[in-house]
Amino acid sequence: MINISNPRNFLLLKYPSFAKMFSTSEQIPDFAELTETVCNVMMSSPAVTLDTALNQTGVRVSPELVETVLKRFENAGMSAFRFFEWAENQRNYSHSVRAYHLMIESLLKIRQYQIVWDLVGSMRKKGMVNVETFCIIMRKYARAHKVDEAVYTFNIMDKYDTPQNLAAFNGLLSALCKSRNVRKAQEIFDSMKGRFEPDSKSFSILLEGWGKEPNLPKAREVFDEMVSAGCNPDIVTYGIMVDILCKAGRVDEAVEVVKDMDDNNCKPTSFIYSVLVHTYGVENRIEDAIDTFMEMERNGIAADVVVYNALIGAFCKANKLKNVYRVLREMESNDIAPNPRTCNVIMSSLISQGETDKAFSVFRRMIKLCEPDADTYTMLIKMFCEKNEVDMALKIWRYMKSKQFVPSLHTFSVLINGLCQKGNVVKACILLEEMIEKGIRPSRITFAKLRQLLIKEGREDVLKFLHEKINLLVKEPLYD
């Protein structure tokens, strides 16, 4: 019998991978084992005891291990930050630039801006700040609809010994355009293009931004200005233009652009063909979608998972499930593995048609071929909640946690809303507390639903407790 009072034996019992560490052959665990050990602790330990639990593993951290764990726990917010702080205090270890960037991205997802700027200050002291650091922050600020803060981040780069350059300028334009603030991006572009000479990437970013607006005349104007400025359209620019035209319902005009590419010795990519195939699918022109796919192969361009996903989407739209399975078999024969998007496209189509049992069957098949992503889990949990099968939604949740997948804000919200709908206030409160523990602030709608239930049941004490937990989260001022 193992004596649990002995720390060494405790580790052998709780973390079997350590048995190899203490074997007579003194075998050193490999990287995968060490990562798995840390991840198990991260998943099972409360935030308040995480440091102690990590210390007990005896794991010696390395930049590669820290980066891997931070990437896996990118949705874990404050739990990831506690691991980050713990790793920083380990002997003979220093954070890499990538570790800082992964941590900054994770914190920005939950809007912990003050901590982010503290980390940037630490990077500055170590001479590790670079343009990418600021591009990450600008992108996340813009996504959170904090446009002024995104611009402010660009303006203070010099304070952190990082000169503004064309890459940073493009980063700001991209952050604004991707968050549907293309008018602000155009204004900044027009005011600064004398200071930074725009390149094809600058114009392509604006082109894509106007395409998402959507504003086809303005997109054409940017394209013309690009040519006038002596920037020849490249494969990226052509791809964006094809995408814009397709989304504007001008797929036939997009085909003409593809022909112009051939005339200019610029060979279309599989991405461009995927856009055409997808658009034909959306427009229920299934024969055109198939013909375009065949034309791509005739032109010697190998199909990749993106094009196959577009073709699968077209067949799903046309309700031709047998063809979908034929495409999957062809992918297998060509050694092209499906990705989460493949699964999500099929499941989404089946759910929209009310074929929920088939959607779940697809999920069970696909998890043998690829790892689900946040959209997969959220889609399934929402499906079962809407079917009033919350027990099944909770089973999916537990399966997701067993795979060490950290739920996102949206996944938490979908399940909490489903539990509230069912009247399971206890479980909803537990999940909300777990959400807050990870530093993820619940949306007003989600919290309002739970608040209504708690007041109805006379549990103002629990409501007060949850309010206090939320208030303990770090504030979010603009900070430098």
Domain boundaries defined on the chain: 407-480
Quote the pTM value: 0.76
Considering 25-29, 75-79, 268-272, the range whose residues carry the highest mean pLDDT is 268-272
What would the pLDDT profile of 383-420 be if each residue is shown by its tens digit?
999 999 999 999 999 999 998 888 888 999 999 999 99
Residue 439: name the closest of 100, 76, 4, 157 by CA.
76
Contacts by 422-427 with C-beta closer than 8 Å and gap 24+? 422/385, 422/388, 422/390, 423/453, 424/390, 425/450, 425/453, 425/454, 425/457, 425/459, 427/394
Taking a C-beta distance cutoff of 8 angstroms, is the pair 406, 387 a contact?
no
Q: Are 187 and 148 in contact (CB under 8 A)?
A: no
Query: pLDDT digit string (tens) for 246-282?
Result: 999 999 999 999 988 877 778 899 999 999 999 999 9
The Cα 65–Cα 93 span in angstroms is 11
The CA distance from 447 to 235, in Å, is 46
Query: How far apart, in whole angstroms, are the C-alpha atoms of residue 198 and residue 173?
Result: 11
> What contacts 154, CB < 8 A, 6 or more positions away?
134, 138, 164, 168, 169, 171, 172
CA dist list (Å): 403 to 16, 337, 447: 18, 20, 27
For the chain, give the percent of residues with pLDDT over 90.
73
Q: How far apart are CA 319 and CA 281, in angstroms?
A: 11
pLDDT band at 233 (very low <50, low <70, confident <90, very high): confident
Quick count: other Cβ atoms within 10 Å of Cβ 452?
13
pLDDT tens per residue, range 87-146: 999 999 999 999 999 999 999 998 899 999 999 999 999 999 999 999 999 999 999 999
Helix (H, G, I), strand (E, B) or coil at 20: helix
Residue 13 confidence (pLDDT) above 60: no
Give the integer Cα–Cα distance in Å for 142 and 179. 6
**Residue range 321-338, pLDDT digits in tens:** 899 999 999 999 999 999
Residue linked to tokens 């890459």 = 167
Distance CA 359, CA 343 (A): 9
